[in-house]
């Protein structure tokens, strides 16, 4: 039996085993997906274990997405652009570090909207999730991408690195919203059900705008957006599609996205 798993600390909350084990069962793959809690001091040994012949692959989550990069034999261009590895693929030539988050975001967004309707994006946040979102939006060919972060200096650094726009945080509600076809909350505030901006600022969006929160559930931000009639998208689709892409990279098979989605929703309902 092959083994795969998620490397991070903590990982007990992860939904990945549920969607991957459902997918591998649907595909008839003799493999199991496990939780691999890994402290910083044990990371090198954990990555080394992926070189064993029974290993199918691994996902990587916080706090190790950057740290594993130097432990890879090869890092894909996408992972280099994002600056993090979230998927490890064992090959005959060693370990390849990739990142499927940008793919996951793009696939989840295109499930709900037409790509040609998106021209300008405002991304709130300047962390790792923001980097994946920016790469996805750039690859989709948006005309303008603007970053805003509560610490303006971090937004400025990220904007300079990617060659995109930056807006001072205090100006977000007044200046940038009317131009945004897609507004993405990539901050951590959604996990605490806090609003990243004042709800009234959403009134300045155009009627056909799309609002995304990368949190894996309904949030105050999304509820306010839906109440105003906007397309409101949570982060669950991104989670599922990034996992589907990882499974394809490990197995060469098309991932059964519907099975993965059903398994995640069932586990969410059980936890609720």
Active-site positions read 65
The C-alpha atoms of residue 130 and residue 261 are separated, in whole angstroms, by 23
Whether residue 226 contacts residue 219, with contact meaning beta carbons closer than 8 Å, is answered with no
The C-alpha atoms of residue 132 and residue 232 are separated, in whole angstroms, by 19
187-208 burial by CB neighbour count: b if 16+ within 10 A, else e? bebbeeeebbbeeebbebbeee
Whether residue 216 contacts residue 191, with contact meaning beta carbons closer than 8 Å, is answered with no
Q: Is residue 63 reached through a cis peptide bond, with omega within 30 degrees of 0 on the bond before it? A: yes
Cα torsion 184, 190, 196, 198 to 10°: value is 110
The C-alpha atoms of residue 75 and residue 64 are separated, in whole angstroms, by 15
Whether residue 62 contacts residue 10, with contact meaning beta carbons closer than 8 Å, is answered with no
Classify residue 179 by burial, with Cβ atoms within 10 Å: 0-12, 13-18, 19+. Answer: middle
């Amino acid at each position: 039996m092959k083994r795969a798993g998620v490397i991070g600390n903590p990982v007990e909350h992860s939904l990945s085993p549920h969607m991957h084990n459902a997918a591998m069962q649907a595909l008839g793959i003799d493999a199991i997906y496990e939780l691999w809690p890994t402290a910083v001091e044990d990371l090198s040994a954990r990555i080394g274990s992926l070189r064993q012949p029974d290993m199918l692959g691994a996902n990587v989550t916080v706090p190790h997405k950057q740290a594993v990069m130097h432990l890879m034999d090869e890092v894909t261009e996408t992972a280099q652009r994002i600056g993090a590895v979230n998927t490890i693929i064992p090959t005959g030539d060693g370990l390849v570090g990739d990142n499927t988050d940008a793919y996951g975001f793009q696939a989840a967004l295109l499930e709900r909207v037409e790509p040609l309707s998106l021209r300008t994006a405002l991304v709130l946040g300047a962390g790792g999730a923001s980097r994946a979102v920016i790469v996805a939006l750039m690859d989709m060919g948006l005309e303008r991408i603007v970053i805003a972060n509560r610490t303006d200096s971090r937004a400025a650094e990220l904007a300079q690195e990617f060659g995109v726009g930056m807006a001072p945080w205090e100006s977000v509600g007044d200046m940038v919203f009317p131009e945004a076809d897609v507004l993405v909350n990539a901050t951590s505030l959604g996990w605490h059900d806090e609003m990243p901006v004042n709800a009234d600022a959403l009134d300045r969006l155009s009627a056909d705008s799309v609002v995304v929160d990368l949190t894996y559930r309904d949030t105050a931000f999304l509820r306010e957006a839906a109440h105003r009639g906007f397309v409101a998208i949570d982060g669950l689709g991104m989670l599922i599609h990034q996992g589907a892409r990882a499974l394809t990279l490990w197995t060469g098979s098309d991932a059964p996205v519907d099975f993965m989605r059903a398994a995640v929703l069932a586990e969410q309902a059980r936890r609720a």
